């Protein structure tokens, strides 16, 4: 005997099937990439212009960030001198924007730049975290703060910020201190914001508490999943959510997870000296005395150290084996280059004569142009050294900082 289901049962079955189909259709795709790249390419970087060293017309402190505008101008932010240098496409010095101070359009310890609408530049400050806008005439062009107002208490932190069209993607957060108990609560997030600084989508977040009376740095517990991240020209946001595996998470500008890209990877083991160096970066001083920090440092580096998106949508990945300090002399960078769909395109090596990864740095501009910072590490150490503190190079004249704009050769 054949029976006919009642209408409610039929509707329930249809609804369940529809829900399953929708879930399957919207599930984030998993792309498995090969261990070996399909191609390896080495490209020489060709000098376009340089500043510093014997150039007495331009004073340099420590350059920590750079951007290039559509007209070919390069903007260089000087963290030590709290100013922005504007250099024409042919290397001619045009002007200096900003000066040290806390007034409108003034800067203090800036570290990064973003291009703003109406030909203005945004100068990124880490603490208190904000973007200070300056127009091409040097006049204030408005500020942007992420993470709410002062009524929430504590201090705003801004580590990185990228502008993509009519939105920002920012790694920002807030620190709240309890002086009585010595506690510090930190909440950091990677999120999408409108141009006024209002959050529109959350990508990832991390909260932690530490106590200054018993300071501990636990590297495993501190891992956030967005220490390395990038934002592409279409608004997609890329993160490295797993510390010990080559994994990239892809999210849309609405925060929805779109894909996961995976690749076989062997972690890079640290030497004892490297572990000591990681731990030495965490110091706590309270009531005029230095406190001993319980450093719990891992034996390996994070698998993915840096992510950068080019204007064509390609993603440039730096893994633990290819950070500049581990590359041969004369090699400025090595990237695994991925297409927007996640396909592994090539391993790209960039070379520049005399580049020393233990001393120099490379800033990514647009995937074709880069900025080499000669003697970056020495200049940074000198800037951060306390008055009267000796350096390992005492008695030797410090090498001057140089800025060299370079372009990929044909």
Question: 59-98: per-residue pLDDT in tens?
Answer: 999 999 999 999 999 999 999 999 999 999 999 999 999 9
| Cβ pair 147, 135 in contact under 8 A | no
Domain assignment of residue 10, yes or no: no
Domain assignment of residue 18, yes or no: no
- The arithmetic mean of pLDDT across residues 352-378, rounded, is 97
Paired with 78 in beta bridges are: 63, 83
User: Which residue would you say has higher pLDDT here, 26 or 134?
Assistant: 134
Q: Which domain holds residue 51?
A: 29-386+397-408
Burial of 252 from C-beta contacts in 10 A (0-12 / 13-18 / 19+): middle
Range list of β-strands (E), 229-283: 229-231, 237-239, 246-251, 257-263
User: In this predicted structure, which of 11-25, 46-60, 203-217 has the lowest mean pLDDT?
Assistant: 11-25
Domain assignment of residue 375, yes or no: yes
Burial of 397 from C-beta contacts in 10 A (0-12 / 13-18 / 19+): exposed
User: In this predicted structure, which of 108-122, 204-218, 271-285 has the lowest mean pLDDT?
Assistant: 271-285
Residue 364: band (very low, low, confident or very high) from pLDDT cuts 50, 70, 90: very high
In terms of DSSP bridges, do strands 29-32 and 257-263 run parallel, antiparallel, or are they unpaired? parallel
**pLDDT tops 70 at residue 19:** no
Domain assignment of residue 112, yes or no: yes
Average pLDDT, the chain: 89
Helices (H) and strands (E) in the chain, counts: 4, 29
Q: How many domains does the chain have?
A: 1
> Which 3 state secondary structure label does DSSP give 376?
helix
Domain assignment of residue 3, yes or no: no
* pLDDT value of position 23: 39
Instruction: Specify the CATH number for the domain of residue 47.
Output: 2.120.10.30
Residue 269 gets which letter from DSSP?
B
**pLDDT tops 80 at residue 176:** yes
Residue 292: band (very low, low, confident or very high) from pLDDT cuts 50, 70, 90: confident
**pLDDT tops 90 at residue 13:** no
- The arithmetic mean of pLDDT across residues 173-182, rounded, is 86
Residue 394, CB-side half-sphere exposure with 13 Å CA sphere: 6
Domain assignment of residue 120, yes or no: yes
Domain assignment of residue 1, yes or no: no
Per-residue model confidence as pLDDT tens digits over 330-357 = 999 999 999 999 999 999 999 999 999 9
* pLDDT value of position 285: 62
Closest CA relative to residue 108, chosen from 85, 124, 86, 87: 124
| Cβ pair 384, 63 in contact under 8 A | no
In terms of DSSP bridges, do strands 361-364 and 344-351 run parallel, antiparallel, or are they unpaired? unpaired
Domain assignment of residue 21, yes or no: no
* pLDDT value of position 174: 92
* pLDDT value of position 20: 38
């Amino acid at each position: 005997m054949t029976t006919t289901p009642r209408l409610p049962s039929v509707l329930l079955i249809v609804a369940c099937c529809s829900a399953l189909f929708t879930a399957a259709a919207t599930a984030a795709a998993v792309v498995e990439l090969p261990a070996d790249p399909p191609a390896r390419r080495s490209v020489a970087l060709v000098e376009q212009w340089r500043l510093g060293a014997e150039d007495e017309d331009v004073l340099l402190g420590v350059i920590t960030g750079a951007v290039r505008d559509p007209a070919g101008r390069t903007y260089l932010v000087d963290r030590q001198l709290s100013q922005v240098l504007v250099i024409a496409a042919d290397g001619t010095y045009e002007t200096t924007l900003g000066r040290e101070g806390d007034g409108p359009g003034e800067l203090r310890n800036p570290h990064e730049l973003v291009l703003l609408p109406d030909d203005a530049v945004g100068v990124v400050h880490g603490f208190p975290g904000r973007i200070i806008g300056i127009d091409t005439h040097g006049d204030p062009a408005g500020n942007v703060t992420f993470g709410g107002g002062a009524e929430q208490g504590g201090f705003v932190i801004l580590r990185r910020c990228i502008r993509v069209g009519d939105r920002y993607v920012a790694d920002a957060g807030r620190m709240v201190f309890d002086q009585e108990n010595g506690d510090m609560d930190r909440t950091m997030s990677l999120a999408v914001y409108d141009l006024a600084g209002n959050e529109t989508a959350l990508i990832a977040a991390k909260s932690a508490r530490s106590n200054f009376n018993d300071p501990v740095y636990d590297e495993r517990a501190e891992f956030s999943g967005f220490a390395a991240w990038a934002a592409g020209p279409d608004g997609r946001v890329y993160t490295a959510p797993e510390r010990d595996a080559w994994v990239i998470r892809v999210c849309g500008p609405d925060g929805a997870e779109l894909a996961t890209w995976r690749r076989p990877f062997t972690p890079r083991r640290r030497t004892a000296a490297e572990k000591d160096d990681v731990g030495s970066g965490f110091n706590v001083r309270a009531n005029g005395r230095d406190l001993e920090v319980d450093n719990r440092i891992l034996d390996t580096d994070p698998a993915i150290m840096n992510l950068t998106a080019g204007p064509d949508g390609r993603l440039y990945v730096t893994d633990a084996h290819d950070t500049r300090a581990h590359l041969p002399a004369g090699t400025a960078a090595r990237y695994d280059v991925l297409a927007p769909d996640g396909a592994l395109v090539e391993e790209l090596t960039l070379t520049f004569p005399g580049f020393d990864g233990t001393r120099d740095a490379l800033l990514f501009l647009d995937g074709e142009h880069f900025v080499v910072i000669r003697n970056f590490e020495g200049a940074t150490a000198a800037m951060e050294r306390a008055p009267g503190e000796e350096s390992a190079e005492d008695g030797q004249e410090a090498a001057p900082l140089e800025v060299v704009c370079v372009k990929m050769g044909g």
